[in-house]
Each structure stands twice: as C-alpha cells, then as structure tokens.
Amino acid sequence: MAAPEPLTSYDEVPYESHSYAQCHPSRLFTIATLFGLRPSPLDRCRVLELGSASGGNVVPMAEAFPGSEFVGIDFSARQISDGQRLLDEASLKNVQLRHSSITEVDESYGKFDYILCHGVFSWVAPAVQEKILQICERQLTPNGVAYVSYNTYPGWYLRGATRDLMRYHSSRFASPKERTRQARAFLDFMAESVSQDGSPYSLLLRRELDVLRHHGDHYVYHEHLEEVNDPLYFHEFVERAEAHGLRYLGEARLPMMVPSNFAPDVAKALKVLATDQIQTEQYMDFLRNRMFRETLLVPARSNPTWVIRPERLHDLHIGCGSRVDEDAKSTNAADAVKFVTPSGAAISTASPLIKAALNILIEEWPRTLPFHDLLQRVAAVVPVPEKSNAAEFAGALATGLVHIYSSSDLIELQGHAIECVKEAGEKPRAMSYARVRARHGLSVANLRHEVMRLTDLERQLLPLLDGNHSRSELIEALSRKGAAGELRIERNRRALTEAAEIAAVLEAVLPQALKSLAMQALLVR
C-alpha cells in the first residue's frame, strides 16, 4: 500500500475560498483595453488559476462564461476534494479543479488567455516564484494577461515586525489551531502592554490588532505564521518579470496608478522624480507605504500605452452602483449633484452630460450598459451642442467617465455585460454555484464576482431558487424550515414555530427578499 501524501498547511488549515473581483478576467480585459491592447474575448477564452484552493474564485467565473474553459490547480488535496464536491453539485462542465503543484504545470496544459495567481507568490519558495513567472511567460497567448498579487515593501517592513513576534511566541505550540490562538493572544498582550506610551511602535501594534480582528484564523495562520512570506519591492518584481519575457501592464485597481490622485504639489513632484511608469509606481509605493500589489503582466511583445484615449471606452460596459445624495439634491437643473459611492465617498458634478449618464446608469443598476447604448440615451436627454459634432459629444462623455473611473469608485467598467434579472419572476432562478454555496453555508459570489452578505432568510431562500418553484412553493418550503428550527422567523420579537404563522410572515417579506437578491445581481434568466 502506498504511503499517504503528506499534509500541507493548507490541508490542516484550509484557506477560505471565495471570489476576488479584482482578478476577474473582466477586470483584466478592462485594464488591457484602456491601455491600448486587444485582450481575448471573455466569452471564448481559457483561464488558469494557480493556487485555486477549493475553487471559490474560479468556479463562478466559469458559470458566467459557459463558452470559455477554466482550470484551477492547488497543492492541497483536501481543498481540491472539497471544491470538486461543490462543483459536481453545480453541474458545471467547463471548469476543472486539479490537485497539482505549480511546479508540475507544463506544456500539456496548453495556452491561456488569462492566468490568475492571487495570494500565492509571496508565500512560496523562490523556485516556485520563478515557476509562476515562467508559466506566465510560456503559456500566455500573445494577447494574454496575467494577474499576480504579492506583498511589497516598504509597507511590509512594519507588518513584518508583528509577524516576527507572533511567530516567535507561537512556535512552541504544535497544532495550527493553538498556534493561531496563541499568536492572537500574544499580539493582544503586546498591544495592551505598550498602549500607554503613544509611541509609533504602540500605534503599529494596535493597528495590526484591529486588522486581524476582522480576519478569520485561516488568514492569521497563512499570512503571519507560515514559514515563507517574502515581500519585495515593486521594481524588483518587475525586473524579475522582465527576465521572463514579461512586460508590466498595470494594476488591477486603476486609481492606484494615477499620480493626480495625490495632492497637486505631490503629483507635480512625482513628474520630476520619475522618468517612466515603473519609477512613478515605485515612488507612489514609498508615499503610500504600500504593502500589497495586484500587478498585471503581458508578453514582452505587447506595447501598452498608459495615456488613456477616450475612444477605448467604446468597447466596454459601464455600471453605477452609487446613489444620489437626496439631502443635497437641488431642484435647479444647473446645480451640481452630489453622488455617494459604494465606499461612502461623496463626489459632485455640475456637468449635464455626466449627471445624465450617472442617473441612467443608476436606473439600470445592477445591470451594465455598453458605451454606445449609454451614449444614445444620454444624447436623448442632453442634446448635442450646436458647435459640437457627434464624435466630440461621444469623446466628452468618454473622457468624463474615464476621469471618474480613474479617480474613484463612482462607476465600474466591465469587459462584458452584466445581464442579471432586476425583477424576480414567478419562478425565480439564481446562479447555480451561488445556490450550492449558500446551501453549505459558504460565501456567495454574484455576477460581478463580489462576495455578498446575505441575511439568514436570503441564505435559506437562495438554494431554492432553481427556476422550478413558484412563490407559494417557496413560502411553503421556507415555512417548513422555520417550523424545523432551521430558519428563525419573528413577529414582535417572538420566534414563531407554527407553520401557518410563519407562512403569513413570509408572504409579506418574500417579495422584498427576492428584490434584494435581484439587486445583488444573483438572479438570472
């Protein structure tokens, strides 16, 4: 009998596997398009994820693009096995989860239009890091784009100090669970012990303690207690990528690349200090004390241009999940309108063109509109000026939208249409993989690849939305769950136990729950 394979740390402490919107191929397509490249169409592409865990990131991508092919690999047999069970339940045929080491990826895997490597590079040995870059070099298609995230200096110099003290204290304990518990407790002790002196060191410990309180044990263990965690400077990463025939394209989050998002005097100084985009990025890292990057790479033969031409927006889709600040709303059409972004920032504009575009996009949300459809609808509200032609009108709209996108989260750009259902029908249907994950109590990704926070009712309702159940049948099924204690339904703060009472409450609240799931881009045709 063959000896069992040794367990990895990820077998013992599985990493929570969920979606990361910033590494979705749609984001890579968008950034590449804005910088003048022609990335592969999303509806017929091949995608490889290195370090896929149980597939929480790659599988929902596959459901969104049934005509494309997706492959996820991970060295943890347990995580691949867990992911395969969910994949079988979802009955998705265009995605594979393979138990394999990154070092075993070879030409037999074929070429890929998009290669994703999130949360791996800094946490593996140098030889594996070189293999990751080699895979990007050898197996990207000519128009391909790779995403690699990694920890960076100078920010990680400070965070490294907390990692060292947590590792030192926890090293005497054997189990990952106990090591994690002890590491948390020791950091808490250290933060409290030096909290009175107000020194930079005490502020650092308090800040790290606050960060870790918002993360699960799997994050603490793999981020701070793993043997390998090797940050590097951005310019060092680019040099290593260039040695593998790769070129820097940009970052997954465009506003992080824009010097003008600093104060005017800082942006002006950056233009003097830096002679190219790489130097500009490195100086911005120094200014931000940046500790994490999400870098996009392309084959060296690609030639991105970092000055964005407005017409490049014509191939993209636009969405706006922001809202108008009603408290600041004016009845005067010439006044500025204040919009509140998803992150809570307030942005005002008096431009009739941009106001019209944002209001149309908010009305369409959570769906997106292709640029030309948006242009036509804006032109119907804001006539083309007499001294302007149609091309200038389109250019003005595109320029305004690009400026907004590069400086805030007021709008989003997508490489494909988000075609969710805004109003639930009589027999609503949700995304297959989302239904499966909700059934198992796991995080759920929507059509824009975001992790959704569901209420208890929404989590119990979502698995039932397979397109075969009427609203009355949904109420009946949820009533049984309530009577069985699987779902808590209250009236006047009293938990209901009788199916008839539960059904009466559900009849009143079900429409709103379905509306909420629709607005979260979880319902499909």
Angle between helices 200-213 and 155-170 (to 10 degrees): 70
- Domain-embedded: residue 397: yes
- CA separation for the pair 472, 507 (Å, rounded): 8
pLDDT band at 120 (very low <50, low <70, confident <90, very high): very high
Residue appearing with tokens 């397509």: 29
- Domain-embedded: residue 264: no
Query: Greater confidence, 83 or 484?
Result: 83
Same structural domain, 103 and 251:
yes
**Which neighbouring-strand residues pair with 319?**
412
Same structural domain, 407 and 482:
no
User: Tell me: the pLDDT tens digits for 9-66?
Assistant: 666 776 678 999 999 999 999 999 999 999 999 999 999 999 999 999 999 999 999 9
**Whose CA is closest to 320, among 305, 334, 333, 337?**
337
> Which pair of tokens denotes residue 496?
């209901």
- How many folded domains does the chain comprise? 4
Same structural domain, 201 and 116:
no
Evaluate if residue 324 carries a pLDDT over 90. Answer: yes
Q: Is 211 exposed, middle or buried (0-12, 13-18, 19+ CB in 10 A)?
A: middle
Mean per-residue pLDDT of the chain: 92
Same structural domain, 126 and 167:
no
- Domain-embedded: residue 330: yes
Same structural domain, 33 and 129:
yes
pLDDT band at 8 (very low <50, low <70, confident <90, very high): low
Asked whether the bond before 366 is cis by omega within 30 degrees of 0, the reply is yes
User: Tell me: the pLDDT tens digits for 267-317?
Assistant: 999 999 999 999 999 999 999 999 999 999 999 999 999 999 999 999 999
Find the CATH number of the domain harbouring 45. 3.40.50.150
Domain boundaries, position 504: 429-524
- Domain-embedded: residue 274: no
Same structural domain, 121 and 57:
yes
- CA separation for the pair 396, 245 (Å, rounded): 38
Same structural domain, 110 and 210:
no
Same structural domain, 401 and 475:
no
Evaluate if residue 437 carries a pLDDT over 50. Answer: yes
177: three-class secondary structure by DSSP = helix
399: three-class secondary structure by DSSP = helix
- CA separation for the pair 271, 255 (Å, rounded): 17
